[in-house]
Chains A and B, each alone.
Chain A
């Protein structure tokens, strides 16, 4: 059974600082997703990582995937208050199309000015 672990679960950052959120998963998969959720809102897709070594960047966020280590990172550069949200990684179980996503517990990010 696929298990997805995120750490840290809570992250309080100062504006302007850098930090990384880690996502480990327990079984083979080659598709990993990062989502952002604001309080009471839906899941907004940030990144889709489809292969080993994939790296994607959008603004102050950069995500990478190492399928051999079963590890993805979400790196935050020079944090700003608007990045405050909960960030989830989610991994597709198995290799077949349409398989379910298994979510990590989420990382609550608070950026303080």
Chain B
């Protein structure tokens, strides 16, 4: 079964450093998303991406965040200057509403720890 792949699985970074989280969505999917989950809390939407541009973003997705699909397969989330409160599990997801498929498939996540 096709998977969404995320790397790294765990990243530790110092406050103020830049991090890039990587995702490879399912190859024929059209819509891509980033979500985050602070430990023990709900899953929160960050951003959606379609046709090489952001289609929606949440209040959390401020100027410190950016997304990119640099090469037609990878989908990245960059946090420019990390804060302690950015520590969370970050999930990438993809979706392809086509021919009756409406599922959203999530990757295994990247646990980001900011120290």
State the CA gap A101–B94 with chains docked (Å).
11
Do residues B109 and A104 form an inter-chain contact, with CB atoms below 8 A?
Answer: no
State the B residues within 8 Å of A (CB): 30-31, 33, 35, 41-45, 48, 50, 55-56, 91, 93, 95, 97, 102-109, 111
Main SS at interface, chain B = strand
A residues 55-110 touching B (CB-CB < 8 Å): 88, 90, 97-106
Q: Using Cβ atoms and an 8 Å threshold, which residues of chain B touch A103?
A: 35, 42-45
State the A residues within 8 Å of B (CB): 31, 33, 35, 40-43, 45, 48, 50, 88, 90, 97-106
Do residues B109 and A42 form an inter-chain contact, with CB atoms below 8 A?
Answer: yes
Q: Using Cβ atoms and an 8 Å threshold, which residues of chain A touch B102?
A: 31, 48, 50
Do residues A33 and B42 form an inter-chain contact, with CB atoms below 8 A?
Answer: no
Name the residue among A41, A97, A98, A99 with the largest chain B CB count within 10 angstroms. A98
Do residues A98 and B43 form an inter-chain contact, with CB atoms below 8 A?
Answer: no
State the CA gap A99–B56 with chains docked (Å).
8
Main SS at interface, chain A = loop
Least CB distance from A58 to B in Å reads 14
Q: Using Cβ atoms and an 8 Å threshold, which residues of chain A touch B95?
A: 98
Nearest residue (CB) in B for A96 is B97
Do residues B56 and A100 form an inter-chain contact, with CB atoms below 8 A?
Answer: yes
Given contacts A42-B91, A48-B103, contact A100 B48 (CB under 8 A): yes
Interface pairs A-B: 6 shortest CB-CB? A97-B97, A98-B31, A103-B43, A43-B106, A42-B108, A105-B42
